[in-house]
Structure 1
């Protein structure tokens, strides 16, 4: 028997385009002699649709495609994910009840199976409500269905059954989060969906997913499938099919890598799709040997580079056309240089409008860097001096007695709002935000200045990762120095051209590079570390080890002095909290980590506050010193 996994590019909000792709893949699989084809979760309308899920007309439109897909199932079993509605019952929000469902059709009929669910349908059992996931907000789960109908969950987790040739086959279908079972409890133990399907007779299992990419996700998934094997005590061939493409939630751009994978009876990887972020029809003959393979993980920076490129390219689908230009301010600093290079790799130089907007504080060095960089990329750089506009604004605002910081921000706002955003409007283009995660965290940005635009390609990259990716581009992609090495520090974070906003004379960024990056990584990690823990590590002499930084870096910044350490820690934590109002107005960030600003980290505007425990630790540290 031949089984096809359709790793398709799902375009959110475009069901007709997705249906045509489903039809195309189904025809190809049928022509190649496949008996089964499986598609990803929510492959008809997309997964990240926000409150579009609350619109009855939209939901009814998506449901109408189930009949169309059923008609494609002549001589081939089609498994796919889409919406199921029950108009006779209410959802938890009082609206029409909706299920994130999997469907199975064969010869234009729904496949039968035991249990109380309708034929040809399975329901997602485990609904995630963490990070960017809002399944609980919109959908009813299988466990809730069981409670509502006074049915046992295990009685509902039944395999589909049919006959192909003379062979009776029974296969289970689970949906994405259902394989991450250890985080969900049922009757005092993990709700292992695969285990229930196997115990009820499934000979093999399909997991249809719409699983966003983050670095290391494949290892985590493999571990969970191994855990399912150990928990069950036996296993069956397991077919994981995921989508590719780019979707968004309004505040984040989310990339899907595919990485569709086949596992054997020992939960070992035996086949994967050939290329991440790429559509592919993976065909497997069940008569073939299921020997385990070793898949080498991608280097983190290379993987994040590929994800950023995919996220930028996905803007074409989000915007609805592939002709708009990207407007990027190229200052001569490393962030804008990396952004320009990533845009170049993603869409080519014909769609990039590069602008250098110097004022009197911009050095000749950075002006030359901007000119050389854009020249190497084949960009026509528009040099628009802004000093005249700065002077006019300063005169207009003189009666309000602007301070030095206000005068700095005037320059940034002229660049971002008066110039770049207007060019984007005139050219029907998209302006980029060039800020990195450390700047965004600390609020070292100007609202309506550099916090502006429609996409933040570097917004989930620490500054250290910006340096690493710039080096990677020079060495691996361009094979030459395109981003000047002078902008990239040595291992001790010593610079030839230090990072600077160049908004006043001899200005240098106040961040302690390397150390502050490590703090931000800890403060924003999925398993967050707070200021209290940082102090404890410092007092126990474990801070550098925990942050994976050298002791020499701490000493170089004077942080071996407890008072300097405390002052700096409170500057960082206070800056992070005071900058919330900027982040909630910032452009969408491409998710590259397990915890990105945007809708991944959800924040309220609150005053800076330190717990009693923190204050006691601080007191002990300062007294001890």
Structure 2
């Protein structure tokens, strides 16, 4: 039996486009002599549909799409993911389901059992877990079909009380097939391979694993679908961050005709995040994920052009380089807005960067606007000393200029704040925190430097001076980031332990970090939740990003 995986980039709620993609893949699989083509989790509507699932019309469109697609499932079996109505009065109205289409009919339906509610997932909000488990009969083969999380309950500390594959094994299946929408993060791919291999070793069955690809606002899917034979050999890995329709021929004995040995160690438990923060870990794949995050956000929202403030600093430089790669240099406009405290070399560095990239740029000096604000506010401010108020006027002036140009010409503003700044509140609401999408908001400062080095791997794109000068907001004379924050090698490590690894203050101090400094940093994180709550979506590249996957009370007292 030849089984093909269709790894595709869907658009949530764009049924016409999704149907077109699915039918195209079916026809390609047919042309290649496939018996069965497998698609990813909720491919019909796109993942995650969230509260769209509460609209009856949305669910009806899913069924209409299945009716259209099944007309092409004549001589080939098709496994697609879609919401399915729950015919039972009890429980939630929907299942997260997979449909087997063949001979222009629905031949089978299976439901997802394990509904994750951690991090970016909130599936139990919408779906009822499966309450029965049946293999699907197809062309003499018994298919054990599961959906994403259903194969992740294999470790020695299970998250759930049921293991769906244990139930399906009672019916003597011949092959495991998993429809998945497994989000990218920079440590997830090897973990995913190990989990799949662990299933293969445990159940002694081949595995066909089809993952989604593409970005849905903040969540990036990397594809990298996998096929293992029953011995645990990785026979085929589809490309990361690309659409692909590829497969292999499965022999009756569970071997694969195109088998190539690739050793992957099975795991007995899910690995935690790395114990120590490594700012250079998997930077090339983070770079690729950010490019795809920008590109898909613009394409799926119907945007074509971006704007950002270019300060001559590392964050705006990396953001600009990423955006030019994702959208084309001609579609990214940089605005340089020197204030009375901006250094000449910062302006020159920003100009040189745009010249290297070839993107359009403008220089708009804000000194007169800034002085106008000060003059207007003088009766209120009186003779009070210079403070954060005057600093933030400059930042908000820049935000207003950027948004004005964006509104006039139809640009989307790219935010350039990094994760270290967002964590500690080192940013100005309605100023440098403005934007439509946060490009670097899930990258700590040292990761931003590592990205800059990667961007310059072949030639100097980001001027060397931008990379090596001391970072500064340049909102007051001789200002440096270290005036307000610890050195980034210390700050980022403490933030990583708290945010990614969820370590409390004493646990962090036990690692050798100074007590008062740890308390100060964690207090900054918690007291600035109100700022992050108003921030734009952030492209997620880590195991724990700010945004939908991290829910912390704004008014919480814990650790503060």
TM-score between both structures, scaled by the size of structure 1: 0.82
Partner residue of 1:100?
Answer: 96
Partner residue of 1:528?
Answer: 502
Structure 1: distance between partners of 2:391 and 2:455: 32
- SS state of the match for residue 78, structure 1? strand
Which residue, out of 107, 122, 128, partners 1:140? 128
Matches within 5 A, 1:251-290: 253-273=218-238, 275-287=239-251, 288-290=257-259
Which residue, out of 135, 152, 156, partners 1:180? 152
How far does residue 337 in structure 1 lie from its aligned partner after superposition?
0.5
Matches within 5 A, 1:474-553: 474-475=456-457, 479-489=458-468, 497-510=469-482, 511=485, 512-525=487-500, 527-538=501-512
Structure 2: distance between partners of 1:203 and 1:295: 22
Partner residue of 1:413?
Answer: 396
Contact kept in structure 2, 1:211 and 1:242, CA below 8 Å: yes
- SS state of the match for residue 246, structure 1? strand
Which residue, out of 319, 324, 336, partners 2:301? 319
Contact kept in structure 1, 2:82 and 2:97, CA below 8 Å: yes
- SS state of the match for residue 456, structure 2? helix
Q: 1:67 to 1:571 in 2, by over 3 A?
A: same
Matches within 5 A, 1:564-603: 565-603=514-552
Structure 2: distance between partners of 1:532 and 1:460: 25
Contact kept in structure 2, 1:182 and 1:191, CA below 8 Å: no
Contact kept in structure 2, 1:184 and 1:191, CA below 8 Å: no
Structure 1: distance between partners of 2:288 and 2:160: 39
Matches within 5 A, 1:52-451: 52-86=52-86, 89=89, 91-92=91-92, 97-111=93-107, 120-142=108-130, 146=131, 156-163=132-139, 168-182=140-154, 191-230=162-201, 232=202, 234-248=203-217, 253-273=218-238, 275-287=239-251, 288-293=257-262, 300-321=282-303, 323=304, 325-401=305-381, 403-416=386-399, 418-451=400-433
Aligned pairs, number: 535
Partner residue of 1:149?
Answer: none
How far does residue 185 in structure 1 lie from its aligned partner after superposition?
8.9
Structure 2: distance between partners of 1:293 and 1:183: 22
- SS state of the match for residue 121, structure 1? strand
Gaps of 5+ in 2: 252-256, 266-279
How far does residue 199 in structure 1 lie from its aligned partner after superposition?
3.1
Partner residue of 2:449?
Answer: 467
Q: 1:320 to 1:295 in 2, by over 3 A?
A: farther
Contact kept in structure 2, 1:42 and 1:82, CA below 8 Å: yes
Partner residue of 1:552?
Answer: none
- 1:128-175: CA deviation from partner (whole Å, max 9, x where unpaired): 000010100000011xxx3xxxxxxxxx32211133xxxx21111100
Structure 2: distance between partners of 1:379 and 1:70: 47
- SS state of the match for residue 57, structure 1? helix
- SS state of the match for residue 358, structure 2? coil
Gaps of 5+ in 1: 112-119, 147-155, 490-496, 544-564, 612-625
Structure 1: distance between partners of 2:59 and 2:436: 28
Structure 2: distance between partners of 1:389 and 1:189: 59
Partner residue of 1:554?
Answer: none
- 1:189-208: CA deviation from partner (whole Å, max 9, x where unpaired): 86332333233121011100
How far does residue 445 in structure 1 lie from its aligned partner after superposition?
0.2
Structure 2: distance between partners of 1:578 and 1:108: 58
How far does residue 79 in structure 1 lie from its aligned partner after superposition?
0.6
TM-score between both structures, scaled by the size of structure 2: 0.92
How far does residue 229 in structure 1 lie from its aligned partner after superposition?
4.2
RMSD: 2.1
Contact kept in structure 2, 1:41 and 1:47, CA below 8 Å: yes
Question: Which stretch shifts more, 312-321 or 402-411?
Answer: 312-321
